[in-house]
Structures are given as C-alpha cells and as structure tokens.
C-alpha cells in the first residue's frame, strides 16, 4: 500500500504534510519490520532534503524500537548534522550513544534500561547502582570510544567523576569497627 501511495505521489500533487505523514509511516513500518536496507532506500528516494529531515526527525520522536532509534539517530547525524540546532544535535547524539550502549547489554536486560536510552550517563549510573560491574565495564569502554571528539552535554570527565563517586561509596562502611578485648 505504501508503494502504491508513493506511485500516486509521482502522478498527482500531494500536500507536503500528507507526503511527510505517508513517508514517516512507511519508514516506521520498515524499521519495525527490521528492514534497515529498504528504510535507507526509502530515505534516499526522497528528493527534497527538508522533507527527508522532517520524516526522519518525526520518526525518531515517535520513539520506535531500539534498532530503529539507533538507525534514525545515526542517519540524522550523518546526513543532517549542520541542519540541526545544537540542543537537538546533542539530544540525537545522546540517543545514538544510549542505543549503542543498550545494544552491548544482554538482550533480555535491554528492556529494563530502554527508557534511559536518551540519557547514557544516567544509564551508566543505574548500572552502577544495580551492581552490574561487567556491564559497566563494557558501557564505559563504549562511551569512551563514542565520546572521542564529540560534544553532547557530558564528557569523559563526567563519566570518571561518576565512577569515582560510586567507588568512594563502595568503600564507605556505615559502622565503626570495634576493638577486640581480651
């Protein structure tokens, strides 16, 4: 049905908003089906960059699944970086990093942290609080790699400060040791 609508679009004038809605729904359908190749082809077929940007941003704002969010954040950063405001750019890059971190976690555990996908630093803190040390190691390595040369609202120093804070808390003993008396 989407392809038929796309053919009609070439034959008859379609209002811009209807065109955006059509392509957005088609894109979301392809992404939900896991067909990233066809989704990319759809975006490449759209000749107007303004419409393509609107479709991509609106699709991302619909909070699709993890793989779709990762795909859209990557696409927007790669193709429309200069067209985005600094705040929106930081938001999209944070979502990209958060989704990348989520993809490194065991599949069954991803659902527990998906709501934090746009806040990777908070996700790291949650992993620390949940004592997921192995996952924290992979998360920190992933974030260090992704943060190289990026500005998204937090830095490697923020990660190090968070780790130091929780390391200090781990060494705090809430009770005083008593001396042994003979």
What distance in Å separates the CA atoms of residue 131 and residue 125, rounded to the nearest whole number?
10
Nearest to 100 by CA among 59, 132, 147: 147
Residue 182 pLDDT > 60, yes or no? Answer: no
Q: Can you give the pTM of this predicted structure? A: 0.77
Residue 55 pLDDT > 60, yes or no? Answer: yes
Residue 75 pLDDT > 90, yes or no? Answer: yes
pLDDT band for position 24 (cuts 50, 70, 90):
very high
Question: For 33, what's the count of Cα atoms within 13 Å in the CB-facing half-sphere?
Answer: 11
Q: Looking at residue 149, what is its pLDDT? A: 67
What distance in Å separates the CA atoms of residue 60 and residue 152, rounded to the nearest whole number?
18
Cβ proximity of 151 and 90 under 8 Å: yes
Q: Looking at residue 6, what is its pLDDT? A: 77
* Least confidently predicted of 24-33, 54-63, 173-182: 173-182
Q: Looking at residue 29, what is its pLDDT? A: 92
């Amino acid at each position: 049905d989407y392809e038929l609508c796309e053919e009609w679009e070439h034959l008859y004038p379609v209002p811009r908003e209807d065109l955006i809605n059509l392509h957005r729904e088609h894109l979301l359908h392809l992404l939900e089906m896991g067909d990233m190749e066809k989704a990319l082809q759809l975006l490449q077929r759209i000749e107007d960059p303004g419409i393509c940007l609107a479709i991509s941003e609106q699709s991302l704002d619909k909070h699709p699944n993890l793989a779709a969010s990762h795909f859209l954040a990557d696409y927007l950063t790669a193709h429309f970086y200069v067209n985005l405001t600094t705040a929106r750019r930081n938001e999209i890059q944070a979502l990209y990093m958060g989704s990348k971190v989520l993809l490194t976690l065991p599949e069954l555990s991803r659902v527990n942290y998906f709501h934090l996908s746009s806040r990777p630093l908070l996700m790291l803190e949650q992993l620390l609080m949940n004592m997921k040390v192995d996952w924290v190691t992979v998360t920190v390595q992933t974030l260090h790699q992704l943060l190289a040369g990026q500005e998204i609202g937090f830095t490697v120093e923020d990660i190090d400060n968070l780790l130091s804070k929780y390391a200090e808390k781990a060494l705090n003993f809430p009770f005083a040791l008593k001396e042994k008396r003979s």
